């Protein structure tokens, strides 16, 4: 069995009737969304907030009732999302698909945040995966230079020969740090740069990590 499918489907077991949930973005939570769609068809009553245009489309196709984030009166019960790297301290790098800003906003407004990954995402230290940083297009070259001065190699993300544009109309600069020994400090420093909208470090946010393996087994680990 696909390791991503195993993790993604397992996370759907944490969803119960009446919940309002956040739906992450990517190829692992894809399986959670499909499974939730099946459960909805079987009678599960939930409402969901998508973290991207891509997920909104998928959720609609799966028949999941959607709710606008702006209308929430209280935190979501649960958000399920993928990650690009997970450290032993359960710190995450996210944003490989460019959805980091809405993902962070929605996970932050959730009582519980469940992360679904295949085992290859669990690393001894964050930073091999280039850290996505969402920046405003105005003066991105200056922001990129400032990011470089923080000890990384910054690269503007491109798509089909033009800058990749997020759902929020911004650019993404992928920052190759190599090693991120202190994610908590780095996230604060990055967000101090005026051109930065948000960065892909998720620190002290994950409540549960669901790790899928290629033999179809799944291991869960409570967030620290
Ligand atoms: O912007 C994208 C998200 O942060 C994804 O959750 C992350 O990139 C992991 O995606 P996947 O499950 O496809 O590896």
pLDDT tens digits, one per residue of 183-222: 999 999 999 999 999 999 999 999 999 999 999 999 999 8
Q: Are 163 and 112 found together in one domain?
A: no
User: What is the CA(81)–ligand 1 centre distance, in A?
Assistant: 8
* Residues 125-167: tens digit of each pLDDT: 999 999 999 999 999 999 999 999 999 999 999 999 999 999 9
Closest by Cα among 115, 44, 110, 84 to 200: 84
Q: Nearest Cα to 194, choosing from 147, 160, 148, 143?
A: 143
Number of structural domains found in the chain: 2
Q: Tell me, in angstroms, the distance from the centre of ligand 1 to residue 92's CA.
A: 11
CATH number, residue 25? 3.40.50.1360
The answer as to whether 145 is a domain residue is: yes
Is the domain of 108 the same as that of 150? Answer: no
Residue 221, in any domain of the structure: no
Q: Which residues contact 34 (CB under 8 A, 6 or more apart)?
A: 8, 62
Domain that holds residue 166: 131-197
Tell me: do 103 and 210 sit in the same domain.
yes
Q: What pLDDT does residue 1 have? A: 66
According to the model, what pLDDT value does residue 223 have? 78
Residue 111 and residue 46 share a domain: yes
Residue 161 lies inside a defined structural domain of this protein? yes
Which atom of ligand 1 is closest in space to residue 24's alpha carbon? 6
Q: Same domain for 106 and 67?
A: yes
Find the helix or strand (DSSP H, E) in which 21 lies: strand 20-23
Residues 21, 42 share a domain: yes
Q: Which residues are annotated as a binding site?
A: 25-28, 81-84, 94-97, 121
Query: Cα–Cα distance between 215 and 153 in angstroms, integer?
Result: 36
What is the reported pLDDT for 188? 98
* Beta partners for residue 218, in sequence order: 212
Binding residues for substrate: 25-28, 81-84, 94-97, 121
Report pTM.
0.97
Write out pLDDT tens, residues 18-56. 999 999 999 999 999 999 999 999 999 999 999 999 999
Q: Are residues 8 and 114 in the same domain?
A: yes
212 lines ligand 1 (CB under 6 A): no
Q: Report helix angle 29-41 to 53-61, nearest 10.
A: 30
Q: Residue 94 CA: which ligand 1 atom is closest?
A: 4
Please check whether residue 24 is in contact with residue 80, taking contact to mean a CB–CB distance below 8 angstroms. yes
Residue closest to 117 by CA, chosen among 219, 210, 222, 216: 210
Residue 142 lies in a domain: yes
- What distances in angstroms separate CA 151 from CA 72, 131, 154, 211, one per listed residue? 39, 12, 9, 31
> Does residue 36 form part of some domain?
yes
Say if 111 falls within a structural domain.
yes
31 and 74 share a domain? yes
């Amino acid at each position: 069995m696909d390791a991503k499918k195993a993790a993604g489907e397992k996370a759907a077991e944490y969803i119960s009737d009446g919940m309002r949930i956040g739906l992450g973005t990517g190829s692992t939570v894809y399986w959670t969304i499909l499974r939730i769609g099946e459960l909805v068809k079987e009678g599960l009553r939930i409402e969901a907030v998508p973290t991207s245009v891509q997920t909104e489309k998928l959720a609609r196709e799966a028949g999941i009732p959607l709710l606008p984030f702006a209308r929430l009166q209280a935190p979501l019960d649960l958000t399920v999302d993928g990650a690009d790297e997970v450290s032993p301290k359960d710190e995450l790098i996210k944003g490989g698909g460019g959805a980091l800003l809405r993902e962070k906003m929605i996970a932050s407004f959730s009582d519980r945040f469940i992360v679904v990954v295949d085992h290859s995402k669990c690393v001894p230290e964050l930073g091999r995966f280039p850290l996505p940083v969402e920046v405003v297009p105005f003066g991105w070259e200056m922001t990129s230079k400032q990011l470089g001065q923080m000890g990384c190699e910054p690269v503007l993300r491109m798509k089909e020969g033009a800058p990749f544009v997020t759902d929020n109309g911004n650019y993404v600069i992928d920052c190759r740090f190599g090693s991120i020994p202190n994610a908590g400090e780095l996230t604060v420093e990055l967000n101090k740069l005026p051109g930065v909208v948000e960065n892909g470090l998720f620190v002290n946010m994950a409540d549960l990590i669901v790790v899928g393996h290629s033999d179809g087994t799944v291991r869960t680990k409570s967030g620290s």
